[in-house]
Structure formats: C-alpha cells, structure tokens
Structure 1
Amino acid sequence: MSEPRTFREEPVSFVRRSGRMSEGQERAFEELAPFYLLDVPRDVAFTSVHPDARLDVESVYGRTASLIVEIGSGQGHAIVSAASTRPDDDFLAVEVFRAGLARTMLDADREGARNLRLIEANAPEVLSTYLPAGAASEVWIFFPDPWHKSRHNKRRLVRPGFPTTAARALADGAVLRLATDWEDYAVQMREVLDDAPEFERDFEGEWAERFDGRVMTAFERKGIAKGRDIRDLTYRRAPRA
C-alpha cells in the first residue's frame, strides 16, 4: 500500500480569500486569461504546482530574453509598469489572489504588455520546481505579507530555507530585490540572506537604495502614511560551485 500524501509540508505565506468577482474581473478571466494566465498542472492543492511540471520559457514567450519574476505581484502595478516600458525583457507575475490577477491582466491588456504572463500558484513551488534552474535574471519580492504577530512569523515567505529555493531559479549573478515597510521583517530578510552562501550583498551600509524600477504602490503608500520607513535589499546569486 502506498503512503498517504501530505497536503503541504511547509506553511504557505498567504491565506486564500474568496469573494464575488466583478463583471470586469470575470471578463478578464474569460477573455484575457487564455493569453496571460499560465495553465499550471496542480498537485495537492489548487494553488500548488505538480512537482513534475516544468515551464518551457522560450515556448511561452516565443523568444529568448531576460526573465524577471515578481513574487506576490498584488494588483500588478509594478510588473505591468515594468513590462510595458521594457519590451525587450520578459516578465512573470506570481500571485494567488484572483482579484489581483484580474486587475493585472486588465491593465496589461490596456498597456499592450504582451511580454507578461501570470501564474496563480504558491511562489516557493514555482521557484523550486516549475521554473527551469537558472531561468530568472531577477526575482522581485516587494511588500510581502509581514505576518507581524510573533506566532505567525513562521509563515513569512523569507525565512530560513527560502534562499536555497530562490537561488535555484536565479542565474549566476542574477539579482534578488526585496522591499518591506516592516522593520523587523526587513532585519529578518537581511539576516537570512546574509547567512545564505548562495547570495552576496549588492549594497553598502544597512540598506540598499530604493529600486528605481519599483513604482509607488498602494502597499508602499499605506506604509508611509502609517509612518513606517521603506527598506530595500538587493542581493546577487553567487556563482554555482
């Protein structure tokens, strides 16, 4: 008799919410998803990725180009802006909230961003198996859920073990960019990545300079309005042995 399958060994960094979709959001999934939203083979959960599934990057985008991946793309403001102004690069948004995916598709369609695709999936599974090893030239993690209550810290995306997952998807010398408005999470991110042999700092001093390619989003405005400082971090994938 085979062993029973577990649901997930690691806690996810999100709580999946459901709600009624607006007419515009429904239209996005009906009309735009066939082009923008990747059809991902699932494993044990709706947001999971089957461990045998692999993304054929060149086939999906129809060319060979630098691939920039945003984890937790939210409403898509940052990645749609980047994709529409950087037509020579390819972009991949990873998000689990359907309203955000719908907004991203609608805005991408309006801006004519044909170099963008979306995945509705748990990000660590995308990074650890679905993307080909070394496929990404950049990975962005902007304002991830801080899970600020101590008992929930274990659900943070950037925690021990995450650097190895992210490093697999990044090419040697590729960039990992992070930003948060929660000081203790910023410190945790820095400690975790400083301890990771797969990464090297790409900044001097305590924090990196603000990434020029990150447009101001609702999350950033909210943090600033509450008097929280925005902290950036930038790391590079160390050469593989």
Structure 2
Amino acid sequence: MAGSRRALRFVLLLPAILGALLPPAAAAGPPKVSLALYYESLCPYCSRFIVTRLAGIFDSGLIHAVDLLLVPYGNAHVRGANNTISCQHGPDECLLNNVEACAINAWPDLNVHFGFINCVEDLVMNRKREEWKSCFQKQGLNPKPVMECYNSEHGHKLSLKYGKQTDALVPPHKYVPWVVVDGQPLYDDYENFEAYVCKAYKGHPPKICQGLGRDYPIVQQVVEAGTGVTYNSGDFELDEGVEDEIKMVQGDDN
C-alpha cells in the first residue's frame, strides 16, 4: 500500500518536475511572430486593411500566433522647435492618430484597443469619421481616459513616440500601410501577411495556414510600385477621395 501511494504521488508530481526541468521557452510554447502595422488613421488603404483583413486574425485563430503592434503615425512629420505634428490628410488625421494612440495607451489589452480602433476605422472607411466617439458606446468603453489623454499634452507625447518608432524603421517606410513581419517589411504584398506569419511561426500552424498554398514568400520578388498604398507626400496633403481616384487611374493603366 505504501509503495502504491509513493508511485501515485510521483505520477501527480511528474508534470511539475518536468515543467521545472524544461527551459522557459519550451515550457511556454513556441514564440509568437511579431506583426507590426504602421499606418495613419485617414489613409483609405489603411482603414480597409484594418477592417477587412487584419480584424480577421481574431476569428481565424492567427492571433494566437502573433504579437500584434499598431503604430498610428504613418506619413506624418514633426515641424518646428515646438514639435508640431503635420499629418498627410490634415488636422482631422492628426486628431484620430492621437485618439488611437491614446486608446492603445489607455487599454493595453489588444482585444480592447483593437476593437475600438477597428470601430473607428470602419467609420473612416464608410466616410463617417466624424462619428468616431460613438465607438466608445459601441465597444462598451469609458471614454474618459482617451478623452483626457488626447486633450492633454500626454496624447501629443504618445504621437511623438510613435513618430520616433516609425522614423526608426530599417529600411524606412515608403508608404502606408506598412506591414512588418518578424522585422521584414512586406512592401505592397502586405495583404498576404498571413502567408508570412504562417511561414515564420514554429508552432502548430493555425487552420488558416493550411489553405494558403504558397511555396514561399520572398519579399524581394514583390514589385514595390503597386497600388493599394499611400505614399509619403511630404508637405502635400491629399484631399479626401483623391487617393481613391488615383487608384482607379492606376487600375486603368494596368
């Protein structure tokens, strides 16, 4: 009887013993793939990518294989000694960039801040950006932390921080959306980001990876001058709808 009890105790303790002996990485499972999106809030291609493509990783299970980072700054520039930020699509874009930066800061939980940003970008995509405050109620969120943030110097500092992250990219970003997987920019092949994530992930692949059927991806083979991106235009600000017209013209030329 005593021998049986000792054997049972050993069996019960075995998982804890093995867990202690395994290296931390093995015990925690395979590392996640870093997935970063550098974007600006009023870029039509960015909003479309967030709403129609990136949001899908929460339903497909791919979210469990990635560490997703959102960087709302894009093609903005810092001007003058007082660090004024000038945004490509004007003051409204600076405001929403700031709001989304504050949301990330206020709600570090990815599910929470992505839900809010996805809601805002869905309104942008449907030309209802002035209704962005409705996303607080839609997502069941208290607006106070975000409102206080973007109405204060703290929001501006967050935008400056994201600006530094964007400007530190190697190679530098050429347009938005700019998607980076494990440090590798995807250029205008960004809509195929799932294939790159699946290739980089070392764990059991999510079901979505089974249907991709690509022998590679090799970013170097991607033509960088395609459509579906918003180029950095410096001081020039594109009016609302102009980028869609440019895309239509480019499509006719192809």
TM bin, normalised by shorter chain, reads under 0.3
Task: Name the structure where helix makes up a greater proportion of residues.
Answer: 2
Scaled by the length of structure 2, the TM-score of the pair is 0.22
Q: Which has the higher contact order (CA 8 A, sep 6+)?
A: 2
Q: Is the radius of gyration larger for structure 1 or structure 2? A: 2
